[in-house]
Chain A
Amino acid sequence: MHRPSPWLWVAAIAAYAFLYVPLVIVVVYSFNDSRLNAEWVGFMLDWYRKLFANEEMLRAAGNSLLIGLVASAVSTVLGTMAGVAMSRYRLRLLPVLVLTPIAIPEILMGVSLLIFFVLLNLTLGLVSVALAHIAFCIGFVAIVVRARLAGMDESLTEAARDCGATPWQTFRYVTLPLIMPGVIAGALMAFTLSIDDFVITFFTAGAGTVTLPLQIYSMIKIAVTPEVNAVSTLLMLLTLLLIIVASRLSPNLFRSD
């Protein structure tokens, strides 16, 4: 066994520090008694108070939540169907359409949907954003569900068939309960992706609709303010919670093997 050399530890710790120090700084300065995000002055919660008094911010949070719920609900149903179809049948087109949106730069989907919605005369807003989010979330749900199905015993569904269950009964009473943790993990993942999405939302939201990431974007384009740190901290906390729940439900979610 080759033990990792001390240099490896130094390099790896530096890489972890590189990953975490920026996020820690954002969180720490959200409690800082100073307008400048430059040095520590003292502890206070004023930036959070300001945040909850900021109507624009609250409306943006409401929009994000609404879009996230709708997009994750619809994409979970469609993504589960896609995941089941991809593991059960030999399909050509579906896997390509499911996986390409994940693989290409996000901006491409953003601008092509912008053209599409404008040509359809669909007013850009909550509806167009939700439709766009569903489109890119389907793939993520499908991958998680397919991974769950890959570890499943085929003989269970065969047994159900032999006992006279219809395909629907087999799915409803055998397959679905077995893949449920994967489905829920996929739903949480879709919700997180929707809440966090900036690029595709940026192109499909139009002028009047603001989500949390769009609100953060317009704030940091103007100035660096600890209010952004406060909303970022809350958003990170929410994501962290969702990810912990998702990984508990689907232990293989974050394993590369």
Chain B
Amino acid sequence: MTSSRTAGSRGKWLVSGPPLLYLIIFFAIPTLIMLAASFRTPGEFGGLAPLVDETGKLDVNLESYARFFTEPVYFEVFLKSVVYALVTTFCCLLLAYPLATLIARSAQRYRDLLLLLVILPFWSNFLIRVYAWMIILGPNAALAKGVNGVLGLVGIAPVPLLFSSFAVLVCLVYVHLPFMVLPLYANLEKHDQALLDAAQDLGANAWQRFWRITFPLSLPGVYAGAALVFIPALGIFAIPDILGGPNDTLIGNLIKQQFLETRDWPFGSVLSIVLTLAALALAGIAAWVAKRHADAGGTIDA
């Protein structure tokens, strides 16, 4: 018995050891180093200042944190990123809900295909999906000409569609939409149609059936989708970088700037940690709300 248990334990380490070691070295340690770097002083030529200077003083301080909280411009960028991510989440929800409902209600044999059609664009290269919007929103494309034609009729000066907050938001919604559809579908698919039949028999109209039954029951799916959209959307830098105007600097762009242009690692690390904490907090809230919801046994009568 003892020998088989030690063999089992050896097997456990043989199987889990290598991936564990790899992820400790190339994920956990770099993350901890970044955490440590946030308490240091930037080096003269980028990177970090020596840990111990000539006078023997240890380089540990909160200056980069102080900078984030005292210079309003950085906090404003963070807030703007949160707003962009919230708007993206909301728009994704509006687009995903009918789509997920339709897939959940279509015949079983079409569901996998309809679902695959939602996921497929996600598998095309991220930059290609951003680039596509450069074409669509470009000044010479039909859309910009049409919009500005209409604006011209009512006497409004032409607006550029590309390199604007509008372009950033449209593309944010575009790349994150599948993340909202999947958890919503997974939830809606499990709904018991008898509830809707019963409501109809009791005289509830289509809107009442949706708002009083389907929507409250789908909230766990909504929360899961919201977390899956909000978290990556909060950290995005390539979309504002490519499609945004000068006012569309988000926290991802600031982080990129600190590491690749200003080369201020400590401040870049502080921004990254703020982003991590915001993402974790949101994931935590989503999980907590979903759990509370589940504990309440669904709130059909709410």
Instruction: Name A's B-contacting residues (CB within 8 A).
Output: 1-5, 7-9, 11-12, 15-16, 18-23, 25-26, 29, 36-39, 77-79, 81-82, 84-86, 88-89, 91, 93-94, 97-98, 100-101, 103-109, 111-116, 118-119, 131-132, 134-135, 138, 142, 167, 192, 196, 198-199, 202-203, 213, 216-217, 220-221, 224, 228-229, 232, 235-236, 239-240, 243, 247, 254-257
Contact = CB atoms under 8 A, between A and B. Distances in A.
Contact of A105 (B127, B177, B185, B236): B236
Contacts of A36: 140
Contacts of A23: 121, 124, 128-129, 132
A235 B128 contact: yes
B127 A12 contact: no
Interface of B: 7, 11-12, 15-16, 18-20, 22-24, 26-31, 33-34, 37, 47, 95-96, 98-99, 101-103, 105-106, 112, 115-121, 123-136, 138, 140-142, 174, 177, 182-183, 185-186, 189, 193, 196-197, 206, 231-232, 234-238, 242, 252, 255-256, 259-260, 265, 268-269, 272, 275-276, 279, 283
Contacts of A109: 27, 30
B173 to A, nearest CB: 8
30 contacts: A4-B105, A9-B102, A12-B101, A15-B177, A20-B121, A36-B140, A38-B141, A77-B18, A81-B19, A82-B20, A85-B15, A100-B27, A104-B235, A104-B279, A107-B236, A107-B252, A112-B31, A112-B272, A114-B259, A116-B26, A118-B47, A135-B26, A203-B259, A232-B128, A235-B125, A236-B128, A239-B125, A256-B115, A256-B183, A256-B189
B174 A112 contact: no
A18 B252 contact: no
A78 B268 CA distance: 31
B15 A88 contact: yes
